Amino acid sequence: MRFESRRAIGCTAGIMVLCLLGGAGARGQAAKPQMSEDAFKNVQVLRGIPVSEFMGTMGFFSAALGMNCTDCHVTESAGDWNRYADDTPLKNTARRMVLMENLINRADFGNDRMVTCYTCHRGVQHPEVTPSLAEQYGTPPPADPDRVDALPNTPADTSAAAEKILDKYIQAIGGAQQLAKITSFTAKGTYSGFDTDFQKVPTEISATAPNQRAVTNHLSGGDNTTGFDGSEAWLAGADRPVPLITYTGGELDGARLDAQLSFPASIKQDLSKWSAGFPPVTIEDRAVQVVEGTAPGGTRVKLYFDKQSGLLVRQTRIMDTTVGFIPLHIDYSDYRTVSGVKMPFKWTTTWVDGQSTTELSGIQANAAVAAAKFAKPSPMAAKGMITK
């Protein structure tokens, strides 16, 4: 994604909506997650997938080609969601490319998704066909911590090693007994990101144990609220083409885990198939220890803990879409003690659709939080909240 292009995106690319294949115009209400072809106009290839996954595919294309929304859509789409439905040469090419990848994967890889847009493009619109001597003889770039894999010959069962790292984390933030004393909290601070043009806006967070969480960012055009009520997750967004997006797949796993990490005493039970045995990794020059677990929906999650302090430095989850896997990571910092428990007061979320930073000014432990705070709104109610 070209960060210098973000001002050209009228949709303020907090999410690279509809970047290549769709258009706006949500209609109707369904009990099940809304499908892409029901929410958007002129979807020809990416049909039969939930809206939340469709959004992820847009981010995948953006990351694979280094492009933003208006690079692929007509310029007028920046101020009118419906213009995303207009066909352009790049959209038609993208459709052909997706069909080509599906054919290759089906014919040569037993339908395993081994070839994606990123396989050839690697962040540029036109794939390179000539080897680069500068790259061949130059210094290799540092390894991406998000892609680190377990060392060869690592024993199949490294759950005990992972458990030891997790135990150190629990002790580092205050210990299990102290964690159990906090059953809810509210927090206030600021949020900034692509959707605010990196201007800081107020944010509010409410959470109750063991796994309910609601975050509302007060944007100039209306509120963006993400919620997880213990089973369902959603986004009601002022800058989204659909008033209410029900999360599925990796987005649902991620919302659940973010809520659970608000009360991390049960972290060992929140994920399964724990493993360790990863090579030495550094994040911002800090040595970290890595463990990996699997969320209930199958999403792989890596957790990076400061080797010295034991505190959680990063969470990385790899989410599946119909065109390929997409990464999302959250970097945690500025830990402060709240009622005997260390909590991060700052985190930066980076994903294929953009980047955002939340900075808290205060956290109130064991505050009263009404159950309605975590109630999923109806699509019409969400639309009303956005337009107020």
Tell me the backbone φ, ψ of residue 380, rounded to 5 degrees.
-70, -40
Mean pLDDT for each consecutive 10-residue tract of the chain (388 residues)?
Answer: 39 38 40 84 91 89 86 79 86 92 95 94 92 93 90 90 97 97 98 93 98 96 94 87 89 97 96 95 95 96 98 96 94 98 98 94 97 85 50
Are 184 and 275 contained in the same domain? Answer: yes
Q: Is residue 136 part of a domain?
A: no
Q: Which of 104, 121, 138 marks a domain boundary?
A: 121
What's residue 6's pLDDT?
A: 42
Are 215 and 313 contained in the same domain? Answer: yes
Q: Measuring CA to CA, which residue among 38, 64, 34, 73 is closest to residue 50?
A: 34
Q: How many angstroms separate the Cα of 173 from the Cα of each of 87, 163, 359?
A: 52, 16, 19
What's residue 380's pLDDT?
A: 58
Q: Is residue 132 part of a domain?
A: no
Are 113 and 152 contained in the same domain? Answer: no
Q: Which of 121, 154, 174 marks a domain boundary?
A: 121
Instruction: Note whether 216 and 377 are within 8 A (CB).
Output: no
Instruction: Note whether 338 and 363 are within 8 A (CB).
Output: yes
Are 271 and 212 contained in the same domain? Answer: yes
What's residue 75's pLDDT?
A: 81
Domain count across the chain: 2
Per the structure block, which two tokens stand in for 334? 């500025």
Are 18 and 113 contained in the same domain? Answer: yes
Are 93 and 168 contained in the same domain? Answer: no
Are 24 and 171 contained in the same domain? Answer: no
Q: Is residue 273 part of a domain?
A: yes
Please, what is the Cα angle at 151 between 145 and 157, to 5 degrees? 110
CATH of the domain at 170: 2.50.20.10
Tell me the backbone φ, ψ of residue 107, rounded to 5 degrees.
-80, -35
Are 91 and 187 contained in the same domain? Answer: no
Are 224 and 367 contained in the same domain? Answer: yes
Are 236 and 198 contained in the same domain? Answer: yes
Q: Is residue 176 part of a domain?
A: yes
CB atoms within 10 A of CB 368: 9
Are 116 and 178 contained in the same domain? Answer: no
Are 259 and 312 contained in the same domain? Answer: yes
Q: Is residue 53 part of a domain?
A: yes
- Please report the DSSP string for 173-233 in residue order: TT-HHHHHT--EEEEEEEEEEGGGTT--EEEEEEEETTTEEEEEEEETTEEEEEEE-SS-E
Q: Is residue 362 part of a domain?
A: yes
Q: Is residue 127 part of a domain?
A: no
Position of tokens 């991390």?
264
Please give the residue range of the domain that contains residue 93: 3-121
Q: Which of 62, 87, 121 marks a domain boundary?
A: 121
Q: Is residue 134 part of a domain?
A: no
